[in-house]
């Protein structure tokens, strides 16, 4: 599925084109919008329709953009700004699990084609969690995205921010499990926090090992897997850490009902 961040980026990208071109393009892909009100900007109209449009129509639209990007660039009044907006759209799509390669839109993991983007799911769960650190965790997740999308991309910051988000979430959950009879732990040490969560029955030994492994993968100085570029490693590491954050927050919310 196409996430909210990518949809906003698409609005910004299309906003560089003439209104007539935009209207013709989106109608071609089954998207209806009213550009007739001269008091409403094209950006506002695009935002209203693209944020709520079906994934199928959005993907169809992006596939044409991928195929004909040179034509769009040719009609853009300022080529430098066009390149920046296209690069941002490209990177947002990567975070949703898509790649533009040789003018084709490629899904990196077809097995999750119907799944909602993990960022969107996770941020929604965080907002409903009641955890004291939910805002700080959300800020780090968003900062990780911004670092990946920045020009030039900062892959180290991308992984560092998502690592901090994972660590902060685990610590916030651990704080809710403390009691007069619970075992002590060192809040400054990741292994100690995980050990505490296992000792109080929040995670199993296997889950502790999985969390420790992902944390190590996204930590500074970790070894880059053979055959992966720095960009691919950052995207993989961020995806793994997001998955572990999602696991923790879902487990936490489920525990509140028991």
* CATH of residue 172: 1.20.120
Q: Are residues 91 and 153 in the same domain?
A: no
Residue 107 host element (H or E): strand 104-107
Q: Are residues 196 and 239 in the same domain?
A: yes
Q: Are residues 174 and 206 in the same domain?
A: yes
Q: Are 2 and 58 in contact (CB under 8 A)?
A: yes
What is the phi/psi pair of residue 100, to 5°?
Answer: -100, 115
Residues whose CB falls within 8 Å of the CB of residue 9, separated by 6 or more in sequence, listed in order: 85, 88, 89, 92
Say which DSSP state 110 is in: G
Residues whose CB falls within 8 Å of the CB of residue 57, separated by 6 or more in sequence, listed in order: 29, 30, 31
Q: Are residues 134 and 91 in the same domain?
A: no
Q: Are residues 227 and 133 in the same domain?
A: yes
Q: Are residues 94 and 136 in the same domain?
A: no
Domain boundary among 112, 141, 166: 112
Domains contained in the chain, number? 2
Q: Are residues 162 and 237 in the same domain?
A: yes
Q: Are 169 and 203 in contact (CB under 8 A)?
A: no
Q: Are residues 230 and 135 in the same domain?
A: yes
Q: Are residues 60 and 183 in the same domain?
A: no
Q: Are residues 62 and 161 in the same domain?
A: no
Q: Which residues of the chain have pLDDT under 70?
A: 109-118, 258
Domain boundary among 90, 112, 134: 112
Q: Are residues 17 and 74 in the same domain?
A: yes
- Residues, the chain: 258
What is the Cα–Cα distance from 213 to 241, expressed in whole angstroms? Answer: 10
pLDDT at 138: 92
Q: Are residues 250 and 134 in the same domain?
A: yes
Domain boundary among 112, 135, 170: 112
Q: In Å, how far from its chain's centre is CA 82?
A: 23
The SS3 of residue 258 is: coil
Domain, as residue range, for 17 = 4-112
Q: Are 21 and 108 in contact (CB under 8 A)?
A: no
């Amino acid at each position: 599925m196409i996430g909210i961040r990518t949809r906003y980026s698409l609005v910004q990208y299309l906003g560089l084109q003439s209104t007539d071109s935009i209207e013709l393009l989106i109608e071609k892909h089954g998207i209806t919008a009213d550009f007739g009100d001269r008091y409403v900007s094209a950006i506002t109209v695009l935002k209203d329709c693209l944020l709520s449009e079906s994934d199928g129509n959005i993907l169809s639209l992006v596939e044409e953009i991928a195929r004909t990007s040179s034509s769009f660039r040719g009609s853009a009044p300022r080529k430098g700004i066009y390149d920046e907006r296209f690069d941002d759209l490209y990177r947002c799509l990567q975070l949703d699990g898509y790649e533009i390669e040789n003018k084709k839109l490629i899904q990196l993991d077809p097995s999750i084609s119907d799944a909602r983007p993990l960022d969107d799911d996770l941020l929604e769960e965080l907002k409903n969690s009641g955890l004291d650190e939910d805002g700080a965790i959300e800020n780090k997740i968003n900062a990780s995205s911004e670092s990946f999308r920045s020009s030039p991309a900062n892959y180290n910051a991308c992984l560092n921010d998502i690592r901090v988000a994972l660590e902060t979430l685990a610590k916030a959950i651990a704080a809710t499990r403390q009691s007069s009879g619970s075992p002590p732990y060192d809040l400054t040490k990741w292994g100690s926090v995980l050990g505490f969560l296992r000792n109080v029955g929040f995670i199993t030994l296997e889950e502790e090992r999985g969390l420790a492994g992902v944390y190590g993968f996204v930590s500074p100085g970790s070894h880059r897997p053979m055959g992966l570029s720095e960009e691919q490693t950052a995207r993989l590491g961020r995806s793994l850490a997001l998955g572990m954050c999602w696991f923790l927050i879902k487990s936490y919310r489920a525990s509140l009902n028991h």
